[in-house]
Structure 1
């Protein structure tokens, strides 16, 4: 997708997601709050992801049987 088109798609998908749970009986404000909490969890997990840490050296393990 080009520059900002993904944002429009994201908004539509979020609206659909919220609507699904509201139709199933959840309160709109509760769904929005839960979405915000989950996004914060995703943000924190992304920030804490050791795969993004340049100080981690990615070396193969030498503990498999044929390594010796």
Structure 2
């Protein structure tokens, strides 16, 4: 993947923030919420970098 992903990420984040600001949220509140969610994702990644590789089988009944 080229370095263009960083610019694409920034544009998507700008669009995301703008969407919530247009809907009435305060810019600083949206940025703070994003910061907290990114911190949460970072901690989850540290705990389990690739959860798709887990061998855990979830034994749930199939939906009918």
1:27 maps to: 26
Q: Which structure 1 residue ranges, 4+ long, deviate > 2 Å from structure 2?
A: none
By relative contact order (CA 8 Å, sep 6+), the higher-ranking structure is: 2
d(CA) in 1 for partners of 2:9, 2:49: 27
Number of residues paired by the alignment?
Answer: 55
Question: TM-score with structure 2 length normalisation?
Answer: 0.74
d(CA) in 1 for partners of 2:48, 2:19: 31
1:48 maps to: 47
- Following TM superposition, by how much is the alpha carbon of 1:27 offset from its aligned partner in structure 2, in angstroms? 0.1
Higher Cα Rg, which structure? 1
Question: TM-score with structure 1 length normalisation?
Answer: 0.70
Query: RMSD of the TM alignment (CA)?
Result: 2.5
Q: Which runs of 5+ in 1 are unaligned?
A: 53-57, 62-68
